[in-house]
Amino acid sequence: FVTNNASRGPAEVAQHLCAMGFTAKPDDIVTSAQSAARLLKDQLQPGAAVLVVGTDALAAEVRRVGLKPVRQWSDGPVAVVQGHSPQTGWPDLAEAALAIRGGALWVAANVDKTLPSERGLLPGNGAMVAALRAATDSKPQVAGKPEPTLLTDALARGKFRTPLVVGDRLDTDIAGANAAGLPSLLVLCGVSTAAETVGAAIGQRPNYIAEDLRSLYAPADSHRIGPHPAWYVDVGPSAVTVQSTGRDPGDPLSVVRATASHGALVHAQPAESASVNSEMSTDPDQIRAQIAELLADVPDPAQEGSNFDELAESDIDTIAARLEEAHDLLVRALESVEKG
């Protein structure tokens, strides 16, 4: 379990997860406070004073790596570490600002702008970091997502063959997975929405999209973003055209996966101009380009080294879906020519 929240220690996080019905031990938890402390340890001398802006749990992680947590600029800190705490106030930021302006190394546990709560989104650690950036004209090193440090620290805990990052925020969980070179699943039961996913930039685009964690029991390809036989998506210079092929899969997220694979609303200008259109292009070059895109990663069985006969069943199903979609595209193009 990997968390950007630096306000609680691993034991407290594990206890919270167990109360929610999960099985978790402190050793199963990786926090941004731990990663921040590790960043500091790698750059400072043992016993160096570090000004802590955050909870006692963050201070404990600093102490655990052999550094000395302090709370005042007058204690001579050579570094500042900043994590979320509901009690952080102006006096804490003032001490940190003095240290940073004096040349202290600055590490932020995370830069999440908001923090989810039962009442809604509240200011996160990133909001406090922004205040210090404005006051010091400096920029911190970041331990948590979307930087890769936290996830690479998690991977160092064991020998993992096929890791998958599961999260609910595009700007942290998914962006962090991409930065670390890991595949990701976005669950839509938290912060980010389906609409935001359709418009996500490449760096924040997940490999899979699902409603919630129950999707982990389903075949991976059923949640993978990419071309879908039920939908045809065309991204133009000023509009996104989404057409149904009449093959309703009974999954409302299938259109999101098909559209998100293009980063459709990122490329269309203006982004709000996404539309559903029943017209089909009859331009041969455009049709060829669309089919080429669909079949770009389909191996040629006649090509030496394609290993076509060694493909897994899931890969064959994906290839069949791509070929079927290409066939449908040709049929609809011919129908449009006949109508014209």
Predicted local confidence at residue 291, as pLDDT: 72
Predicted local confidence at residue 275, as pLDDT: 41
Sheet holding 184-187, edge to edge: 165-167, 184-187, 208-210
Predicted local confidence at residue 14, as pLDDT: 98
Structure confidence at residue 281 as a pLDDT band (50, 70, 90)? low
The Cβ-side half-sphere exposure at 53, using a 13 Å CA radius, reads: 32
| Nearest of 22, 25, 21, 158 to residue 10 by alpha carbon | 25
Span 242-271, pLDDT tens digits: 888 888 778 889 999 998 876 645 444 433
Span 314-334, pLDDT tens digits: 566 667 766 777 776 676 677
Question: Mean of the pLDDT values across residues 78-93?
Answer: 98
Q: Which pTM value belongs to this model?
A: 0.73
Distance CA 256, CA 259 (A): 5
| Nearest of 144, 146, 163 to residue 30 by alpha carbon | 144
pLDDT at 290 over 80: no
Span 200-235, pLDDT tens digits: 888 899 999 999 999 999 999 999 998 888 888 887
- 3-state secondary structure (DSSP) of residue 146: coil
- 3-state secondary structure (DSSP) of residue 105: strand
- 3-state secondary structure (DSSP) of residue 259: helix
Predicted local confidence at residue 197, as pLDDT: 92
Question: Mean of the pLDDT values across residues 36-65?
Answer: 98
Question: Mean of the pLDDT values across residues 18-26?
Answer: 96
- 3-state secondary structure (DSSP) of residue 290: helix
Predicted local confidence at residue 49, as pLDDT: 99
